[in-house]
Amino acid sequence: MSEIDVISHLMNVENQASSLIYDAQTVAEKNISEARAKADSLYKEHYDNLIKDFESNLTETKNKILQENRNSFQEYQQKIQSVAQDEKSFNNLLDSLLFKSEK
């Protein structure tokens, strides 16, 4: 083999190596891109599920609190309405507080 054949052979080997490296990089970038897309999809799915659960819990808790407040207010109204009014004592108290200095 002449020197030109050896150099030509080395150039062919270098081109093949370069081609293999390029193909490997292309495959690696494709795999990374697919993995990133899959990870993003899983993240979004889990995130959406968490948000849905939080919103559901929020709605349930809010409705429970509202119902408890309504019940508490109704009980309070019933207690107030069931208390007998002592107008005579009330008027006497007002008279003693408002007209105390006149007596």
pLDDT along the chain (103 residues), means of 10: 87 95 97 98 97 96 97 95 88 86 58
Token pair 């897309």 is at which residue? 37
Q: Is residue 74 part of a domain?
A: yes
Token pair belonging to 4? 């030109």
pTM across the whole model = 0.53
Q: Is residue 96 part of a domain?
A: no
Q: What is the pLDDT of residue 52?
A: 96
Which domain covers residue 22, as residue numbers?
3-83
Q: What is the 3-state secondary structure (H, E, C) of 82-94?
A: HCCCCHHHHHHHH
Token pair belonging to 89? 């004592």
Q: What is the pLDDT of residue 100?
A: 76
Counting the structural domains of the chain, the total is 1
CA–CA dist 93, 84 (Å, integer): 16
The string of DSSP codes covering 32-63 is HHHHHHHHHHHHHHHHHHHHHHHHHHHHHHHH
Q: What is the pLDDT of residue 5?
A: 87
